[in-house]
């Protein structure tokens, strides 16, 4: 079993839809959870960072962590064409190293 598994997509939604992006992980020592957005030919940009179970909201983005199920999600409300990108989950363990999911390509259609 891979340490971090991410829904591969691609995902295509109409503008204004609610988007759900998901990752599961296997190592219960993982403690810190991040979501990055990566536009084509660019570096990843940090969207959300959390370390506790529950929800964290920032504008149209909500990060959800369920440590008991080892499951993390990113929700995007009122999705816009500018949200079209690859979304990467990343999880930090006790050794300070990040383990990344393979990314989900999202397209929001006007």
Partner 1 sequence: DGGITQSPKYLFRKEGQNVTLSCEQNLNHDAMYWYRQDPGQGLRLIYYSQIVNDFQKGDIAEGYSVSREKKESFPLTVTSAQKNPTAFYLCASSSGGRQPQHFGDGTRLSIL
Binding residues for partner 1 (CB under 8 A) = 32, 34, 36, 41-46, 49, 51, 88, 90, 92, 96-98, 100-103
SS3 82: helix
- Smallest distance from partner 1 to CB 60, Å: 20
In the complex with partner 1, the residue whose CB is nearer, 6 or 79, is 6
- Smallest distance from partner 1 to CB 9, Å: 11
Closest residue by Cα to residue 25 from 52, 6, 7, 8: 6
In the complex with partner 1, the residue whose CB is nearer, 79 or 104, is 104
In the complex with partner 1, the residue whose CB is nearer, 79 or 85, is 85
- Smallest distance from partner 1 to CB 23, Å: 11
Which residues, in sequence order, are CB contacts of 77 under 8 Å at separation 6+? 18, 60, 61, 62
Rounded to whole angstroms, the Cα distance separating 64 from 89 reads: 12
SS3 83: helix
Strands 61-66 and 11-14 turn out to be: unpaired
- Smallest distance from partner 1 to CB 4, Å: 8
In the complex with partner 1, the residue whose CB is nearer, 60 or 102, is 102
């Amino acid at each position: 079993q891979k340490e971090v598994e991410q829904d591969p997509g691609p995902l295509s939604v109409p503008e204004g839809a609610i988007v759900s992006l998901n990752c599961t992980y296997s190592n219960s020592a993982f403690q810190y959870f991040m979501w990055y957005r990566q536009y084509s030919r660019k570096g990843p940009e940090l969207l959300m960072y959390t370390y506790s179970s529950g929800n964290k909201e920032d504008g149209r983005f909500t990060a959800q962590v369920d440590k008991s199920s080892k499951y993390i999600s990113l929700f995007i409300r009122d999705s816009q064409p500018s949200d079209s990108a690859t979304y990467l989950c990343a999880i930090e363990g006790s050794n300070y190293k990040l383990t990344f999911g393979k990314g989900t390509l999202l397209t929001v259609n006007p």
